[in-house]
Structure 1
Amino acid sequence: MTLSHDLAGQGPSTVLLLHSGVCDRRMWDGQFHALAEAGHRVVRCDLRGFGDTPVDAAHTHADDVRELLDHLGVERAAVVGSSFGGRVALELAVRHPAHVSALALLASGIPGFTPGDELRAWGGREDELLEAGDLDAAVELNVDTWLGPEAGPEVRALVREMQRHAFEVQLAVPEEFHPVTPEVTADDLAGIKVPALVAVGAHDLPDFRAVADDLTRLLPGARRVDLDWAGHLPALERPDETARLLAAFLAEAGR
């Protein structure tokens, strides 16, 4: 199955945008056309179980992404990943390194991460609400947890819509169709040799600042940027500033 996706731009370099686990490809509305106007061919997709992409089989997200790039005839792409999408980007760079020319990781997850107290508490509360059938409260928990102080009502409404849809799709998926998580070690991450941007928000959970520490240490080509205004979803909280940050990194990586 080919992931649902959008294309913009005709540039010689390709940029692939991978969404967070509380969003779908609509989270990139503020960067999608801006990066195309900066001279890139831009692809944004919905991973299985998000947006317009159903779950019809067991799958590995990084392999799905590689198959999408093959379908589009893209040999190499700079991959931008937000949160869960950052983890998928790292798995792609390990499993299919020839397809990745650069990595921009925004509040990224990391393979094999052990959550701290706050993240475990959030996960436990989400599980309780979903098991009780209180989808509204589970959605609000995620909106409140993952958006920083600069997210306005329209952004909160969009995340609410995207998260609710993801819950509705994923809760109906039979266990045999659940994603298969590939094993990726610290040594694997240290073997990623492409330029990397590691960005993290000051208002994010401590776990993700710890992940940024780990990625900055492990990735040989990493440059870290701390965003003093951001929560967990900077692409939605300050879309124009995030677009400029990504465009500048991609231009530097292209050189």
Structure 2
Amino acid sequence: MSHPYLSHDVAGEGPAVLLLHSSVCDRRMWDPQWRVLIDAGFRLIRPDFRGHGDSAAPLGPHSDAEDVRDLLDELTVDRVAVVGSSFGGRVALEFAARWPERVGSLALLCAGAPGHRPSPSLAAFDDKEDQLIEADDIAGAVELNVSTWLGPDADGNTRAMVRLMQRRAFDVQLAAEEFDALPPPEPPRPARIGAIPVLAVSGAHDFADFREIAASLPHQLPNARHLELPWAGHLPSLERPAEVADLLVGFLRNPV
């Protein structure tokens, strides 16, 4: 469907659910849950952030949260449940902090957080990725991401899927004359998020950063709960798709 910046899909009937992808992936990461959530009675909206999938890289500074707001405005969707994976979870937190009246519930899968300072291990990953890209070893950078972000339960098809999506993101971003990363987003203000029901999921095989972000949210938000998946890496919806689909359907139907 058309939008000035974000390619996206809309399908299904019922309460609106916005699916926000990881920066390693694009909107195709939700393929394993797509039909399950539609059959469960939800209207799904899934965009590609700028510089991912079918969305062009930005020409200058931009806000992914504002892009999401503009997309929902165009679709005349006033209120949504938001499911965000990794970077998509960070955008979901910013969106909920800035426009809490538009969010019915938040499901955060190994989410980042606005203003989070990376640990030495996460910073080391970023440095290694930068080195590979500067050396024009894009295939190496792709493999670094595949091996880093998927947990032990990911099968070969899942690894191939992430490899395809990450390569697409690199190709789109590197083809742009200047891919301008997000400016530092506004930190979430827990008082503004208020009593929105939040499910914060972490993976036991993930970086400590994302585990700590998820575990901290119940201490900041009055209606948040934390669930750690002992089998999961950073992308649980791809690692055990059916289990995460059931988890999401249960939360979206009864978020309180």
Superposition TM-score, scaled by structure 1 size = 0.94
How many pairs align?
251
User: Which piece of structure 1 moves more, 165-174 or 176-185?
Assistant: 176-185
Which residue is equivalent to 1:216?
Answer: 218
Alignment of 1:167-186 (within 5 A): 167-175=170-178, 177-185=180-188
Distance 1:57 1:98 in 2: 30
Distance 2:29 2:185 in 1: 25
Equivalent of 2:107 in 100, 104, 108 = 104
Residue 160 (1) aligns with residue 176 (2): no
Structure 1: runs of 5 or more not aligned = none
Q: Is the 8 A contact 1:80 1:104 kept in 2?
A: yes
Cα-to-partner distance string for 1:12-46 (whole Å, 9 max, x where unaligned): x1000000010000100111121111111111110
SS at match of 1:171: helix
Aligned AA (1:38)? A
Superposition TM-score, scaled by structure 2 size = 0.94
Residue 117 (1) aligns with residue 120 (2): yes
Which residue is equivalent to 2:190?
Answer: 189
Distance 2:252 2:137 in 1: 42
Which residue is equivalent to 1:252?
Answer: 254
Q: CA deviation at 1:2?
A: 4.3
What CA RMSD, in Å, does the superposition of the two structures yield over aligned residues? 1.4
Residue 24 (1) aligns with residue 44 (2): no
Alignment of 1:33-112 (within 5 A): 33-58=35-60, 59-112=62-115
Q: Is the 8 A contact 1:10 1:36 kept in 2?
A: yes
Q: Is the 8 A contact 1:190 1:220 kept in 2?
A: no
Q: CA deviation at 1:135?
A: 0.4
Distance 1:84 1:178 in 2: 12
Structure 2: runs of 5 or more not aligned = none
Cα-to-partner distance string for 1:185-223 (whole Å, 9 max, x where unaligned): 5xx134312100000111111111111122222122101
Q: Is the 8 A contact 2:90 2:114 kept in 1?
A: yes
% identity of equivalent residues: 55
Q: CA deviation at 1:72?
A: 0.9
